[in-house]
Structure 1
Amino acid sequence: MMRRLALACFGMVLATAARAQPLPDDFVYLRDLDPSIRQDIRYAGVNNFVGRKLAGYDANECIVKRSVGLALQKVQRELAPQNVSLKMLDCYRPARASREMVAWAQDGHETAAQKRYNPGFSKSELFRLGYIAEYSGHSTGAAVDVTLVDLHAPTGPSFDPNRAYADCTAPEALRAPENSVDMGTGYDCSDAKAHTSAKSITAGQRRWRKLLAGAMVRQGFVNFSKEWWHFSLPGGGRQAYDFPIAPRTR
């Protein structure tokens, strides 16, 4: 009995030590730089196009290169007088998660829930069309997926994995809840309507996109034209990392 207890305690010590290991190469937890920036890391749960937690996402935490985090902090400060906050949807992505996305796109199976994210074509086309790649800038720590939250707006309903929502191009009230401003499509929507400069959105949705893009660009970020939510900071390096996203220990 005592031997089993000792082994269990030793295992707990090892697990704690593993979580406490410092982040490599100037990576930081964004929460340590600016806790006011909201976080909803979608691949750490089931509310994403794959429908499950992805490998390496062991905590709902945004990890980025320090230069990226400091730039996001400046964006947040610019938005604060307008009662608007950034909300991070994805930050550093372990390379194993990108490989899992590629395998998912090529597995030949597609559910109705997954189809909500690419209503115009099959998921096998995502790789060819450039929506999924074996190499992701997210794995360098220099790319982020982000939206905006109106701090004066009431909190909406939570995501229900058992509900049959409309696809990501549908009106906001019908698609899966984002608890953020209405950008015209849901996050990770593989459709022309999600292109940053899409003409098929309302004037209000366009204003939100311009507000986000303008604030990000002023701090050096570059937007990916097919995704209103995706921004990268040049100069962050091209090395892809594969360490897991562990819980913060302080």
Structure 2
Amino acid sequence: MKRILTAFLAAVTISAAHAQSLPGGFAYLRDIDPSIIQDIRYATSNNFVGRPLAGYNAGECVVKREVGLRLKAIQQELAAQNLSLKMFDCYRPARASLDMVKWSQNGHETAAERRYNPRIPKTELFRLGYIASRSQHSAGAALDLTLVDLKADNSAKYDPSKTYADCTAPVDARAPEGSVDMGTGYDCTDTKGHTAAPSISPEQRAWRKRLVAAMARQGFVNYSKEWWHFSLPGAGGAAYDFPIQPRRN
């Protein structure tokens, strides 16, 4: 009996050591609604920095539980329209924002970086309000996302060996994102990426309005310079810096 008890306690200890705990009421979005599509770009090289950012050890959307439940309600509404949310970024470790600051000050810009910043030097991105050194993402109050038409062909994948046009180009020329055409790619630091930009087509404007309206029905507010960025007033607080780790079943 003693050996059995010892073995049981050892198993519990191992299980606890491997369990992934999240602080401050955070949760993995997959545990709240696994149907929401995720493409966490800062965990990959497919972003404006060109490599995974500090603290992104897994491509998982981590959210405050209240935020996740509201996203679930939005997803249920969209599902009836053959649409889905697609998450690009959720909780962001504070160290990732500092990583962005260092990137902006490294003294050079590559062609791949210019795809995201076709007209604005990266040293100006913070001053102009496109990137924040202290982001609401780190407080769990902000999200980057888009819409996916589930009836469309979303099979095109990003190819790191291919040369794409910049983020303001027509959808067939820029890097594929497997989503509806919002007029620019994600993280496009250009006036065309402003939610109410006059330079986009009526169809693109309709998709943006549809996304903003769906999010607003659950209390989310859009940032006017980024059609993809939303925050939930009152959901924030102190910034966190815990790394995003792989989710365990």
TM-score surpassing 0.5? yes
Q: Which residue identity does 1:248 align to in structure 2?
A: R
Partner secondary structure for residue 228 of structure 1? strand
Counterpart position of 2:196? 197
Return 5+ residue gaps in structure 2 as ranges.
1-12
Task: Output aligned runs, 1:187-226, within 5 Å.
Answer: 187-226=186-225
Counterpart position of 1:6? none
Percent identical across equivalent pairs? Answer: 68
Cα displacement (A) at 1:77: 1.1
How far apart in 1 are the matches of 2:118 and 2:16?
A: 44
Partner secondary structure for residue 67 of structure 2? helix
How far apart in 2 are the matches of 1:96 and 1:18?
A: 24
How far apart in 1 are the matches of 2:17 and 2:42?
A: 21
Counterpart position of 2:69? 70
CA gap 1:46/1:17 in 2 versus in 1, 3 angstroms: farther
How far apart in 1 are the matches of 2:80 and 2:186?
A: 25
Cα displacement (A) at 1:17: 5.8
Counterpart position of 2:142? 143
Residue 248 in structure 1 maps to residue 244 in structure 2 = no
Partner secondary structure for residue 101 of structure 1? helix
Contact 1:83–1:151 under 8 Å retained in 2: yes
How far apart in 1 are the matches of 2:16 and 2:240?
A: 20
Task: Output aligned runs, 1:16-95, within 5 Å.
Answer: 20-95=19-94
How far apart in 2 are the matches of 1:240 and 1:64?
A: 13
Counterpart position of 2:4? none
CA gap 1:21/1:31 in 2 versus in 1, 3 angstroms: closer
Q: Which residue identity does 2:55 align to in structure 1?
A: G
Task: Output aligned runs, 1:102-121, within 5 Å.
Answer: 102-121=101-120
Q: Which residue identity does 2:34 align to in structure 1?
A: P
Cα displacement (A) at 1:21: 3.6
Cα displacement (A) at 1:238: 2.2
Counterpart position of 2:8? none
Cα displacement (A) at 1:237: 2.5
Return 5+ residue gaps in structure 1 as ranges.
1-12
How far apart in 2 are the matches of 1:198 and 1:18?
A: 49
Residue 177 in structure 1 maps to residue 176 in structure 2 = yes
Cα displacement (A) at 1:167: 0.3
Counterpart position of 1:168? 167
Partner secondary structure for residue 63 of structure 2? strand
Contact 1:117–1:168 under 8 Å retained in 2: yes
Contact 2:136–2:236 under 8 Å retained in 1: no
Give the number of equivalent residue pairs: 237
Partner secondary structure for residue 231 of structure 1? strand
How far apart in 1 are the matches of 2:133 and 2:181?
A: 30
Cα displacement (A) at 1:164: 1.2
Q: Which residue identity does 2:54 align to in structure 1?
A: A
Q: TM-score, normalised by structure 1?
A: 0.92
How far apart in 1 are the matches of 2:120 and 2:71?
A: 34
CA gap 1:146/1:64 in 2 versus in 1, 3 angstroms: same
Cα displacement (A) at 1:37: 0.4
Contact 1:19–1:247 under 8 Å retained in 2: no
How far apart in 1 are the matches of 2:210 and 2:204?
A: 10
What value does the CA root-mean-square deviation take over the aligned residues? 1.4
Cα displacement (A) at 1:219: 0.4
Cα displacement (A) at 1:158: 1.1
How far apart in 2 are the matches of 1:94 and 1:206?
A: 32
